[in-house]
Structure 1
């Protein structure tokens, strides 16, 4: 099984959708979480232009005022058991037919505002009880676990502490980054 998480920074442009579709197809992605889609009520045709033949099923959180939006797509190797669309996230409890394995996949686009982020942590914590079992949580958290994970200015110590507390209280494991220094670069070459 191959998973990906990508802040796509908008999918209204057909060329951007083609780029995403080509990536998902060429890397044989089975489940994808796409944040900041900036899509509201995407049509089946638009979803197909993103997932192609590879990712045929979708669950989504609409964008609001051209901001945000989260899509989760999966291949037909999975059946959907249950889904939950929150304020900041989309979660799908999937059954992988070939392996008979079930798990929850959550994609989140967390807010920048500190008070809203506390609501986001609460929402994600509730997912553990709504959709039990193994959990893959990915997305754009708009905060890091350490100031070393930032390129340039340091993050707020209270935001870092809040995020660490969330990770710890939910017994999540932060997978190490491999092959580069930062996950987001804004197309800058330096420090990658």
Structure 2
């Protein structure tokens, strides 16, 4: 299953919708996770523009005013949803992969800028992970880096990296090395 995660800082712009749809199509994404939708209320009318003409299902966490908001869209022929957990800072979708029946949880994360709030989020995500056995995929905007080399044009705070690395270890996650130019992606 291919994933696309992107922080759009607002999704109303039709150029952004076209760009996301193009990325989804060109990379064969089955799951699209968008952070910072900045749209309060019902966003159904925007999802079709982002996904295209093929079948899709989605779930969302509304923004608070013009702040935050999460949207996760997926191909129902690849993934069948059985449950969801919503929080201001994450949207966890649980289900089965249609090809194998394997249980999987896909978590769209948007971490706040405040380090204390992020530490609370890391604890909440570990607690959530302990409630569901199966495969887990965490993607999104974590607003943290693991190593100093990853921080470009901003201040590196070793304590924040330590807490983020501790979260990754406690959640038993594996970070895939990814690369790109205007975005980061992993094909395959």
Q: Tell me if both proteins adopt one fold, taking TM over 0.5 as the criterion.
A: yes
CA distance in 2, matches of 1:40, 1:178: 32
Matches within 5 A, 1:1-192: 1-54=1-54, 56-77=56-77, 78-179=79-180, 183=184
For the 8 Å contact 2:69–2:88, the answer to whether it is kept is: no
CA distance in 2, matches of 1:105, 1:151: 28
CA distance in 2, matches of 1:181, 1:45: 27
CA distance in 2, matches of 1:119, 1:163: 11
Unaligned stretches of 5+ residues in structure 2 = none
RMSD of equivalent CA atoms: 1.9
For the 8 Å contact 1:30–1:54, the answer to whether it is kept is: no
* Structure possessing the higher relative contact order (Cα contacts under 8 Å, 6 or more residues apart): 2
Corresponding pairs, count: 183
Instruction: Return the offset for 1:51.
Output: 1.5
Unaligned stretches of 5+ residues in structure 1 = 184-192
Instruction: Return the offset for 1:173.
Output: 1.0
Q: Encode CA deviations 1:142-181: one digit per residue, 9 max, x unaligned.
A: 0100111011233111111111111111111111123569
Instruction: Return the offset for 1:14.
Output: 2.1
Q: Structure 1 residues 158, 29: closer, same or farther in 2, change over 3 A?
A: same
CA distance in 2, matches of 1:33, 1:130: 22
For the 8 Å contact 1:86–1:123, the answer to whether it is kept is: no
CA distance in 2, matches of 1:52, 1:179: 24
Secondary structure of the 1:166 match is: helix
CA distance in 2, matches of 1:91, 1:22: 25
Q: Structure 1 residues 38, 181: closer, same or farther in 2, change over 3 A?
A: closer
For the 8 Å contact 1:143–1:155, the answer to whether it is kept is: no
Secondary structure of the 2:92 match is: strand
CA distance in 1, matches of 2:76, 2:11: 23
Q: Structure 1 residues 29, 182: closer, same or farther in 2, change over 3 A?
A: closer
